[in-house]
Amino acid sequence: MPDHIPVLLAEVLECFKDKKIKTFFDGTLGLGGHAKALLEAHPEIECYIGCDQDENALEIAKKNLENWQGKVVFFHKNFSDISSILKTLKISCVDAFLCDLGVSSMQLDLPERGFSFSKEGPLDMRMNQKNPLTAKEVVNTFSKEELEEIIRDYGEEKRWRKIASIIVEERKNNPFEKTSDLSNLIARKVGKSKKHLHPATLTFQGLRIYVNRELDVLKSFISESIDLLCPEGIGSFISFHSLEDRIVKQAIKETVKVDPVTGQREEKVKNIYKKPLVATEEESRENPRARSAKFRAFRKLGGQHA
């Protein structure tokens, strides 16, 4: 397996540099790259909560973070379970959190996980392999209309009608089993997009997001996580496509309440950066996955947490 390179690591460390952290919630621990750097930079951390829905990633992270035994607690859960996790630990609020959204490099690199159109494997795409729904079931059993919605709304693929049609036509005689069955069909019948992406890129994105309910859990997490931040706590997200980034941006905006009588604005959180941070040219060259990454962070304004 290639070396794990945490995306936007310098930006993450800079964001939390001046913050004294007692409790940190890492909603997408992965292999522990961001966690290792944050634990080294913040020896004052007493409890680092490492959460991930991928059991394989958690097992690797436990080895990578063994120097901090006693400080790090691991949870095989989705980050949207933050409330129940904190209740289990008898923690009322956290000083900071980070969610590195989307599919991990490790998941993409393992053909048997079925995330990548460039590596032949079963059409799976589940981040949590205990979940019942797979991409194989979606492409083989969902209606044409359902497939159109998934490819259009989650894949942001402009050729959604054509792709849904060829999937439904093909599966009549040749049910989809492998990633190559789907990616080769789309490449053959649809061809390249104007963005010079592989023809199957956006369809695979749409299927993955749908199978893992990524946008639903993100929406659920944001409102709850803001309430569970301690006053002056910092929340942060790394996103990799516009759908995720739009949800984070909008959720932060919606925390502003305006008094209908006085017109006075009441802000619950304040953006730390006016615009999301992106990877440097150097990082983008060294780690192509970083090219589309955006980092947003906000500070919860003083007062009581919910």
Pick the more confident residue, 22 or 264. 22
For residue 103, what pLDDT is reported? 67
Phi first, then psi, for residue 94 (nearest 5°) are: -115, 155
CA dihedral 74, 78, 84, 89 (to 10 degrees): 10
Whether 89 and 14 have beta carbons less than 8 Å apart is answered as: no
Per-residue pLDDT reduced to its tens digit, 23-55: 999 999 999 999 999 999 999 999 999 999 989
Residue 206 has pLDDT above 60, yes or no: yes
pLDDT of amino acid 110: 62
Q: Which of 54-68, 156-170, 194-208 has the lowest mean pLDDT?
A: 194-208
The pLDDT score that the predictor gives to residue 221 is 94
Specify the pairing of strand 94-100 against strand 23-26: parallel
Give CA–CA dist 248/236, Å, rounded. Answer: 9
Banded pLDDT at 306 (limits 50, 70, 90): very low
> Is the distance from CB of 37 to CB of 12 less than 8 angstroms?
yes
Local confidence band at 1 (pLDDT 50, 70, 90 cut-offs): very low
Q: Which two tokens stand for residue 47?
A: 């409890």
Q: In whole angstroms, how far apart are CA 2 and each of 5, 36, 42, 238, 283?
A: 9, 18, 27, 21, 16
Q: Which residues in 287-299 are b (16+ Cβ under 10 Å) and which e? A: bebbebbbbbbbb
- Domains, the chain, with CATH or none: 9-105+214-300 (3.40.50.150), 132-211 (1.10.150.170)
pLDDT tens, position by position, 94-134: 999 999 997 656 556 666 676 677 778 899 999 888 889 99
Residue 259 reports pLDDT greater than 60: yes
Give the model's pLDDT for residue 260: 74
Q: So what's the pLDDT on residue 60?
A: 94
pLDDT at position 2: 43
Give me the pLDDT at residue 114, please: 61
Tens-digit pLDDT profile for residues 167-181: 999 999 999 999 999
pLDDT: which is higher, 297 or 190:
297
Cα–Cα distance between 5 and 23 in angstroms, integer? 24
Do 3 and 74 meet the contact criterion of CB atoms below 8 Å apart? no
49-58, 142-151, 192-201, 248-257: which is most confident: 142-151
Give mean pLDDT, residues 69-86: 96
Q: Which residue has the higher pLDDT, 264 or 74?
A: 74
Please count the helices (runs of H) and the strands (runs of E) in the chain: 13, 10
The average pLDDT across 228-254 equals 94
In the numeric block, which tokens belong to residue 32? 């522990």
Give pTM, 2 decimals: 0.88
State the Cα–Cα distance between residues 113 and 271, nearest whole angstrom: 36
